[in-house]
Structure 1
Amino acid sequence: MSTEPTGAAEPGTAAADPSEPPVPTAPPVPAEPSAESSAVTAPESSEVIGSAAEPAPRKRKLSAGALFLTAVLAGPALGLAVGYGVQASRPETPLPKITASPLAYPAARVDPAALAAAAPKPLNIDGDLRDLLVKKPDGAQDTKRFGTDGWMDAADIAETFGDTKGVFQRLLTNGFRRAAVVAWEADDAQYRVELLQYLPENTGEVIDQVNISTSRADVSRLPGNDDCLIVVHKDAMHYAKSTEQYYYGEAAARKGTVLMHVQVYAKNPVDRAKLEDLAKRQWERIA
């Protein structure tokens, strides 16, 4: 029976000191495989290499929106290219020759004076409108509370109506330019005659700017003048924000860009004959 310890070293070698760390040794070098061994182990090595390699990237599929956008962008370009190719293959078309009629001159010279006399006469509405107003009757009391020195602007006219803001806006919107006025008092009645001028592009609508009401009124026209309207109201009216009553009559007519407007405010029913005479005399001054 042997008395040597189980972990004793072989003869000729020193026993390992348990206090010192073991010295690492080089890993064993594998022997080169032979042809037969390599043929046998080749599938195993290739499987290892293939498993260690990175996976191949997956192909990305285009969405329906990307396909539609591609078609939208490529469609015009393809159509332009096809159209250009078709047009380029066509033969050139020669343009027609430029022709012009020869100049012609009248045989006789035109007389400038005769030409000016044959032209339509301009309307007498470009000067001072105050000169076209009827004159105040003798003995009548002059009323100077309308406008300044015979002129009225849009604000002055609007202040004479109850709906001041609305009238002012309509005047400016409808092409109001200027207005001349004369006013007086006689026989318990107030008279006011206005000549309102509008811009040329609003000429056709100026007759509607005075908003003449024909409800419960006698309506007539000046003889031979279909553009003149004479209205005499039957019932008494009230002044704005007042209980004072009055009877009202008015006449309106248009000449070019000028609107004639005659108004009467009376304590008694308006005399139609006087209103018609005043409207006739004012119309004759602008006609």
Structure 2
Amino acid sequence: MPDATGVPVVRRRRRGRTTLLIATAAVLGLVAGTCAGFLVQADREPTELPSLSQPVVAQARGAGPEPLSAAQDRQVKTDGDLRKLLLNRPKGTKESDFAPGHDGWLDLADYAHQLSDSDDQFGALVGNEFRRAADTTWQVGDTYDVEIRLVQFRQEEKPAAEEWAGNWKVGGLRGWSLPGTGEGMVYVAAKPETEAGYLPVYRAEAHASRGDIAMEIWIYDSKPIPKKTIMDLARRQMERL
């Protein structure tokens, strides 16, 4: 379950003492049974072994099922270059002045640094089996910024991507379900964040997951961001997963 910050926390259960006792009893029983078997076999006449030659089974004719193409096999897609699954930067835009990571990649430290309470988030990401993250940004003028992240988890113990996408703390924003994504949501701020000496900042977000990948989108602007803008961007990004 999530901790106080809303971040999923993995709690691994230790092997109980009862389990160890049962396992020990099973081993002792196996040893005793084996010894008894040897004593019984020692008093019996040897049994003639069957011939080693066996009839050859003819291989079934006909073609087997066709293997999935790279386009159909989602694992092939998501195990490749994760950056290629990100939406392309629109023409006429430039990379944001605050683009994180290196060459579109964010390692564990880079990604945790983007989150509040980064030390705690670093531990949560390790517990959730963080694998890698890819990022793209673009900017229009001086005030309109977009950032999209794809965060991939190993998921050997639990569906971490779904939990991660569903545990964002989004306060003061109105939310709507993102169609076709299960628990996916988009959020839009009705009021801007303000600070003396700076332009007002409106924010919109989207969080969803598919398989082992959590998607995160942020839009910032000095004027209100329409619901349709974040909804369309999130929908198009999810279609690429």
The two structures have a TM-score, normalised by structure 1, of: 0.55
- How far apart, in 2, do the equivalents of 1:169 and 1:191 lie? 27
Q: Report how far residue 285 of structure 1 moved.
A: 1.1
Partner residue, 1:66: none
- Per the alignment, in what secondary structure is the counterpart of residue 240 of structure 2? helix
Deviations 1:55-105 (A, max 9, x none): xxxxxxxxxxxxxxxxxxxxxxxxxxxxxxxxxxxxxxxxxxxxxxxx9x7
- Per the alignment, in what secondary structure is the counterpart of residue 209 of structure 1? helix
Map of 1:179-190 to 2, 5 A cutoff? 179-186=133-140, 188-190=143-145
Partner residue, 1:125: 78
Is the Cα contact below 8 Å between 1:203 and 1:256 reproduced in 2?
no
Task: Decide which of 80, 88, 92 is 1:135's aligned counterpart.
Answer: 88
Q: Is the aligned partner of 1:258 residue 2:213?
A: yes
Distance 1:167 1:276, change over 3 A: same
- How far apart, in 1, do the equivalents of 2:178 and 2:134 lie? 22
Is the Cα contact below 8 Å between 1:207 and 1:252 reproduced in 2?
no
Is the Cα contact below 8 Å between 2:133 and 2:150 reproduced in 1?
yes
- How far apart, in 2, do the equivalents of 1:220 and 1:202 lie? 30
Deviates more, 1:194-203 or 1:272-281: 194-203
Q: Is the aligned partner of 1:169 residue 2:158?
A: no
- How far apart, in 1, do the equivalents of 2:148 and 2:228 lie? 16
Partner residue, 1:35: none
Q: Report how far residue 219 of structure 1 moved.
A: 1.7
What amino acid is the match of 2:152? Q
Map of 1:14-93 to 2, 5 A cutoff? none
- How far apart, in 2, do the equivalents of 1:214 and 1:161 lie? 13
- Per the alignment, in what secondary structure is the counterpart of residue 201 of structure 1? coil
Is the Cα contact below 8 Å between 2:107 and 2:133 reproduced in 1?
yes
Task: Decide which of 215, 232, 244 is 2:188's aligned counterpart.
Answer: 232
What amino acid is the match of 1:116? P
The answer for unaligned runs of 5 or more in structure 2 is 1-54
Q: Report how far residue 131 of structure 1 moved.
A: 0.8
Q: Is the aligned partner of 1:154 residue 2:108?
A: yes
The answer for unaligned runs of 5 or more in structure 1 is 1-102
Task: Decide which of 82, 106, 111 is 2:63's aligned counterpart.
Answer: 111
- How far apart, in 1, do the equivalents of 2:125 and 2:194 lie? 24
Is the Cα contact below 8 Å between 2:93 and 2:139 reproduced in 1?
yes
Partner residue, 1:281: 236
- How far apart, in 2, do the equivalents of 1:238 and 1:129 lie? 35
Distance 1:272 1:265, change over 3 A: same
Q: Report how far residue 258 of structure 1 moved.
A: 1.2
Q: Report how far residue 248 of structure 1 moved.
A: 2.1
Deviations 1:25-74 (A, max 9, x none): xxxxxxxxxxxxxxxxxxxxxxxxxxxxxxxxxxxxxxxxxxxxxxxxxx
Task: State the identity %.
Answer: 29
- How far apart, in 2, do the equivalents of 1:143 and 1:268 lie? 18
Distance 1:222 1:147, change over 3 A: same
- How far apart, in 1, do the equivalents of 2:58 and 2:118 lie? 59
Is the Cα contact below 8 Å between 2:106 and 2:134 reproduced in 1?
yes
What amino acid is the match of 2:124? R
What amino acid is the match of 2:181? N
Partner residue, 1:204: 159
- How far apart, in 2, do the equivalents of 1:147 and 1:205 lie? 22
Q: Say which structure, 1 or 2, has more relative contact order (CA 8 Å, 6+ apart).
A: 2
In our comparison, the structure showing a higher alpha carbon Rg is: 1
- How far apart, in 1, do the equivalents of 2:126 and 2:93 lie? 33
Q: Report how far residue 203 of structure 1 moved.
A: 5.2
